[in-house]
């Protein structure tokens, strides 16, 4: 075992990201999509995440983005609010390949 999670990221990086989501009570679930969800990522691939939760605002999204930037992770994190995505092809991709990255109340999140 190399210490990586199934997302191709070190466990400490996954935990740091989950701590950001845990700190925002409106976040119910975060879905990973893109190459990391499909398993065809490369070492420097970005981390595509979309956030679900009732009442989440753009201000909260910006605050989470700022907190993630402060983590100084070596990957670019693309964060979005799922209910604000208006691209049907992207929503279909998320539905097909998306993996739960974080879920409120789950012990391993």
pTM score, whole prediction: 0.92
Tell me the per-residue pLDDT of 35-90, one tens digit each, with 9 for 90 and over: 999 999 998 999 999 999 999 999 999 999 999 999 999 999 999 999 999 999 99
CA-CA distance, 102 to 28, in Å (whole number)? 8
List of domains in the chain? 11-103 (3.30.460.10)
CA-CA distance, 28 to 70, in Å (whole number)? 22
* Percent of the chain whose pLDDT exceeds 70: 94
Tell me the per-residue pLDDT of 90-102, one tens digit each, with 9 for 90 and over: 999 999 999 999 9
């Amino acid at each position: 075992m190399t210490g990586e999670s199934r997302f191709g990221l070190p466990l400490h990086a996954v935990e740091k990201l989950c701590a950001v989501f845990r700190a925002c009570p409106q976040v119910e679930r975060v879905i990973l999509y893109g190459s990391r969800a499909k398993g065809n990522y490369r070492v420097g691939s970005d981390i595509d995440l979309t956030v679900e939760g009732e009442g989440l605002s753009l201000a909260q999204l910006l605050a989470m983005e700022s907190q993630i930037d402060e983590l100084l992770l070596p990957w670019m994190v693309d964060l979005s609010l799922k209910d604000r995505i208006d691209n049907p092809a992207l929503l279909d991709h998320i539905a097909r390949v998306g993996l739960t990255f974080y879920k409120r109340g789950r012990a391993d999140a």
